[in-house]
Amino acid sequence: MEQNMIQLTIDNHVVEVPKGTTILEAGKQIGIEIPTLCHIDLKGTCVKNKPASCRLCVVEVEGRRNLAPACATDCMPDMVVHTNSARVIRARKTIAELILSDHPNDCLTCPKCSDCELQRLVMRFNIRKMPFNGGEQSERKRELTPAITRNMEKCIYCRRCESVCNNVQSVGVLGAVRRGFDTTIAPTFDKMFVDTNCTYCGQCVAVCPVGALTERDYTDQLMDDLTNPDKVVIAQPAPAVRFALGEEFGMEPGTSVTGKLASSLRSLGFDYVFDTDFGADLTIMEEGAEILHRLKKFLAGDKDVKIPIMTSCCPAWVNFYEHEYPDLLGHPSSAKSPAQMFGAITKTYCAEKMGIPREKIVVVSIMPCLAKKYECARPEFKVDGNPDVDYSISTRELARLIKRANIRFTQLPDSDFDSPLGESTGAAAIFGITGGVMEAALRTVYEVYTGQTLPHIEFEQVRGFEGIREATIDLNGFPLKVCVAHTLSNARKIMDKLRAGELDYHVVEIMACPGGCIGGAGQPYHHGNFEILNARRNALYAEDEGKKLRKSHENPDIQKLYKEFLGEPMSEKAHHLLHTHYSDKSIK
């Protein structure tokens, strides 16, 4: 046996694992699924929570006085483990019953019904009675923000949200407060999210095993608008949605459902089915122009120009720097996010073209994201109180709507998006992943800057799931230094360096969610399975490869838009409609 390998016995199976493997992981290798609840380990990203506190994964280790938590107990040589002895099963059942005794019994109407990890365990443990119910319930707080619904009576105190908010996002809004039975997870000073520096990244929602943290649901409002004859309802689904939506209908992770997505939206009764991908191409035009503009000034020796320029399409990231880095607001690009650009163009250019007054148009974005819901409510994205994007629903909400409308999604035919805002390039498709915006921008910036056609269209250097990746791109002899980061804790590292004057990149891309939008908080729940993110990534790059056009500036509809309406990138009109400003939102 190799030196760092260990042999042990689990449920009478002999298994050999590397040193440092937990009993939980060792069990998985031989097909033993030990139940867990608080544990999550999204391998390949930094999403990890291992407090060993729910105690549902306890197993019997021969020679030990107490039961041991499999998720956090390392395998030892010659260990003999029983994961399903009577003692273990009894203990697990009692613990699950205890959790139920401090959890409301409203599963039927819970938004997490049938997608709830606790519910699944209760079914698995064959629990038919709740002997400990009837006692005191822990403190309940409810909150409805534009993006997140918080219903703490359902909290089972697994603390995944706390781990994510602190360790992954470094936002530090959620934390454990009080102790004992009164312990709960709460935003700073027991305030509401809206009164804290919450970025609405929603990653707390993405990892919540139960219905304590969920998205704010806009499906009823959307139903009303769709059935209202006075409204023209326009859909714009984000790039990342099409690589995940199929999961909600039992399709294999990594199935691209672009055509079915367009058909389903049409079946739902949307008047126009456009595509946020169009907005993404438009973003590259504006942001790319801004990059070039700043670079030129920089190279000309302008000391005041803000380099690096940073992407600004991720709304949680925007919230993050407005809260935490008000001194550095000049760095992010002033370009709006693709969805907002799309909204602004729809309610001006499109409205004019179609002859529909702005007030009658309802623009609905379908997003992998929860922060987009908050973005829609920002006052700077409104004209006389009328928002450019009326509201945003998540991938999950769309799936629910489709089911509610009796549409058999898997059997839908493929169809195309409507014109004029339906055409897009491969560059837009890859917006859905960390590094994608950078790659899309580079494809355009390179060609515009050098005047040459890219020899190799893929920028492999900026792909991957490492937290921070950097690359140097040769622009006709000028070494363009770029950096890509995902998760806000990595963003913080970069911003702290920038603040300290230790950053020498020219362009930086930041996405708040692990993996970028494919791992967004509005996507179908991954339940800790990293393979799902991987599959979505593969589908996304395949879509890009399959596209005829793969550079934003080659999109004919975009070219037409500039010709007919905007003039050129960063023109006065473009500036007015497609750019925004940021303000200091730090909590004093």
Partner 1 sequence: MKLACNVVEQVEAICDKHGNKPGELINILHEAQSMHGYLPEEMQRIIARKLGIPASKVYGVVTFYSFFTMTPKGKHPISVCLGTACYVRGSEKLLDEIKRVLNIEVGQTTPDGKFSLDCLRCVGACGLAPVVTIGEQVYGRLEPKDVKKILDEIPD
Partner 2 sequence: MKTLNFEDLTQVRKKAQATLSVRELSYAAADESSCGLAVGTEHIQLLCCGGTGCKASQSQKIVENLKACIEANGIADKVQVIVTGCFGFCEKGPIVKVMPDNTFYTQVKPEDAEEIVKEHVIGGRKVERLLYVDPKTEKTVSDSKHMDFYRKQMRIALRNCGFIDPENIEEYIARDGYAALANALQGQTPEEVIDIIKKSGLRGRGGAGFPTGMKWGFARNYQAENKYVVCNADEGDPGAFMDRSIMEGDPHSVIEAMAICGFCIGASQGLIYIRAEYPLAVHRLKIAIEQARNYGMLGKNVMGSDFSFDIEIRYGAGAFVCGEETALIHSMEGKRGEPTLKPPFPAESGYNGYPTNVNNVETLANVPIILTKGADWFASIGTEKSKGTKVFALAGKINNVGLIEVPMGTTLREIIYDIGGGVKNGKKFKAVQTGGPSGGCLTEKHLDLPIDYESLGAAGSMMGSGGMIVMDEDDCMVSVAKFYLEFTVGESCGKCTPCRIGNKRMLEILTRITEGKGTMEDLDMLKTLATTIKDTALCGLGQTSPNPVLSTLDNFYDEYVEHVKQHKCRSHQCKALLTFTINPEKCKGCGACKKNCPSEAIIGDVRKPHIINPYQCIRCGMCKSRCRFDAIQVF
Residue 64 or residue 142: which is nearer to partner 2 going by CB? 64
Q: Which residues bind partner 1 (CB under 8 A)?
A: 166, 171-179, 186-190, 587
Q: State in angstroms the smallest separation of the CB of 64 from partner 2.
A: 10
Residue 5 or residue 587: which is nearer to partner 1 going by CB? 587
CB 292 within 8 A of CB 352: no
Q: What is 254-282 written as a DSSP string?
A: T---HHHHHHHHHHHT-SEE--HHHHHHH
- List the one residue from 6, 61, 102, 482 that touches partner 2 (CB under 8 A): 102
The two tokens of residue 568 are 């050129």
Is 138 a known active-site residue?
Answer: no
β-sheet bridge partners, residue 505: none
Q: State in angstroms the smallest separation of the CB of 52 from partner 2.
A: 5
Is 313 a known active-site residue?
Answer: yes
Contact mark string toward partner 2, 383..422, x via CB under 8 A? ----------------------------------------
Minimal CA–CA distance to 439: which of 404, 506, 484, 391? 484
Contact mark string toward partner 2, 50..79, x via CB under 8 A? -xxxxxx-x-------xx-x--xxx-----
The residue annotated as part of the active site, out of 117, 375, 509, 543, is 375
Cα–Cα distance between 73 and 22 in angstroms, integer?
Answer: 5
Residue 193 or residue 381: which is nearer to partner 1 going by CB? 193
CB 398 within 8 A of CB 375: no
Q: Which does 126 bind (CB under 5 to 8 A by kind): partner 1, partner 2, none?
A: none
Cα–Cα distance between 569 and 560 in angstroms, integer?
Answer: 12
Restricted to residues 539-578, the positions that interact with partner 2 (CB under 8 A) are none
Q: State in angstroms the smallest separation of the CB of 199 from partner 1.
A: 13
Restricted to residues 116-155, the positions that interact with partner 2 (CB under 8 A) are 131-132, 135-136
Q: State in angstroms the smallest separation of the CB of 175 from partner 1.
A: 4
Q: Which does 55 bind (CB under 5 to 8 A by kind): partner 2, partner 1, none?
A: partner 2
Cα–Cα distance between 57 and 184 in angstroms, integer?
Answer: 22
Minimal CA–CA distance to 149: which of 234, 239, 214, 199? 214
Residue 512: exposure state from Cβ atoms within 10 A (0-12, 13-18, ≥19): buried
The residue annotated as part of the active site, out of 162, 287, 322, 439, is 287
Strand ranges inside 241-387, DSSP E: 272-273, 309-310, 361-367, 382-383, 386-387
Is 161 a known active-site residue?
Answer: no
Q: State in angstroms the smallest separation of the CB of 162 from partner 2.
A: 11
β-sheet bridge partners, residue 309: 507
Is 517 a known active-site residue?
Answer: yes
Residue 70 or residue 295: which is nearer to partner 2 going by CB? 70
